C-alpha cells in the first residue's frame, strides 16, 4: 500500500489500480497518482496545495504553448541523480518522475520572469500579485505602459477554436505585439465577435466594445512597416 496525495492536506492508502492507465510520480515529496496522457501542469492544477505552479499563458480551451515559462519546474527521471528545468505545461507526466516545484532555483527563475513582466505591465493586477508573492518590489528595467503580456492565448483561441485568424502576433523580440491584419485599429469582417479572446485574456488587455467586437491594445507600427504602408497609399492615390 502506498500513500497517494489528493491535495495538500488529504492522502489515501491504495495500490496501483490494475488495468487502469495511470501515472505515479512524486511532487515535493508527495506521491501522486493521476490519469495518463497529461502534462505535469495539467495533472497538478486541480490538486490544491500540491505544486501551486503559476501560469499565465495556460488555458484548457487551447493547446499548451509555453510562452510565459512561469510554470517551470525541476524534474528528475533517474531517481533524483540529476534534475532539469522543464515547462510543466508542455512536459508529459511520466512514471517515476521526481518533481520539485518550489526550490530556490525555481523561485529565482520565476522571480526574474516576473520582474520582466512587472516592468512591461506595472499596472496589471495579476502581475502585481505575482510580484508580491515572489518578492519583486521594483524592476531594474524601465517601466512600460502595457497591459498585454504576449501570452498568445487570444490568437490561439481565435485560430484553434473558431477557425479564424482575426488577430495575430506580429514582429519579434521587444517589438512583438498582438494586432489585427495590416495593423488596423478596428477588427474586420474576419472577426465574428465571439468574445473568446477577451474571455481568455489573463490581464484584461482585450475588452469588448459597444459594437460587439473586441478592442485590442494599441499597437506601435514599426518604422519600416509604416513607411511601406504610406508608400502604398501614395501609389494607390
Task: Write the pLDDT tens digit of every residue in 73-104.
Answer: 999 999 999 999 999 999 999 999 999 999 99
Please report, for the chain, the start and end positions of each structural domain, with discontinuous segments joined by +: 2-102, 103-145, 153-220
Instruction: Return the CATH architecture of domain 2-102.
Output: Roll (3.10)
Using DSSP, state whether 136 is helix, strand or coil.
coil
pLDDT band at 132 (very low <50, low <70, confident <90, very high): very high
Residue range 115-134: average pLDDT? 96
Asked if the domains at 2-102 and 153-220 fall in one CATH topology, the answer is no
Indicate whether 14 pLDDT > 90: no
Contact 170, 176 (CB under 8 A): yes
Angle at 160 between CA 158 and CA 166, to 5 degrees: 25
Using DSSP, state whether 32 is helix, strand or coil.
strand
Q: What are phi and psi of 142, to 5 degrees?
A: -60, 140
Indicate whether 229 pLDDT > 60: no
Mean pLDDT of the chain: 88
| CATH level 3 topology of 153-220 | Alpha-Beta Plaits (3.30.70)
- pLDDT tens for 40-51 read 999 999 888 888
Amino acid at each position: 500500500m502506498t500513500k497517494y496525495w489528493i491535495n495538500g492536506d488529504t492522502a489515501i492508502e491504495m495500490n496501483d489500480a490494475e488495468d487502469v492507465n495511470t501515472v505515479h510520480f512524486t511532487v515535493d515529496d508527495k506521491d501522486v497518482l493521476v490519469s495518463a496522457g497529461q502534462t505535469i501542469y495539467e495533472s497538478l492544477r486541480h490538486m490544491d496545495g500540491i505544486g501551486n505552479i503559476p501560469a499565465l499563458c495556460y488555458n484548457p480551451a487551447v493547446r499548451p504553448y509555453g510562452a510565459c515559462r512561469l510554470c517551470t519546474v525541476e524534474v528528475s527521471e533517474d531517481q533524483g541523480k540529476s534534475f532539469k528545468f522543464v515547462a510543466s505545461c508542455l512536459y508529459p507526466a511520466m512514471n517515476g518522475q521526481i518533481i520539485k516545484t518550489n526550490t530556490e532555483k525555481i523561485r529565482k527563475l520565476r522571480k526574474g520572469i516576473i520582474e520582466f513582466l512587472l516592468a512591461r505591465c506595472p499596472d496589471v493586477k495579476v502581475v502585481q500579485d505575482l510580484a508580491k508573492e515572489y518578492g519583486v518590489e521594483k524592476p531594474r528595467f524601465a517601466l512600460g505602459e502595457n497591459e498585454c503580456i504576449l501570452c498568445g492565448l487570444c490568437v490561439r483561441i481565435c485560430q484553434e477554436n473558431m477557425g479564424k485568424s482575426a488577430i495575430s502576433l506580429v514582429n519579434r523580440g521587444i517589438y512583438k505585439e498582438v494586432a489585427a491584419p495590416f495593423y488596423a485599429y478596428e477588427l474586420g469582417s474576419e472577426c465574428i465577435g465571439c468574445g473568446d479572446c477577451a474571455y481568455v485574456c489573463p490581464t484584461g488587455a482585450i475588452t469588448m466594445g459597444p459594437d460587439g467586437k473586441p478592442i485590442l491594445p494599441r499597437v506601435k507600427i514599426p518604422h519600416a512597416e509604416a513607411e511601406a504602408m504610406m508608400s502604398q497609399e501614395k501609389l494607390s492615390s
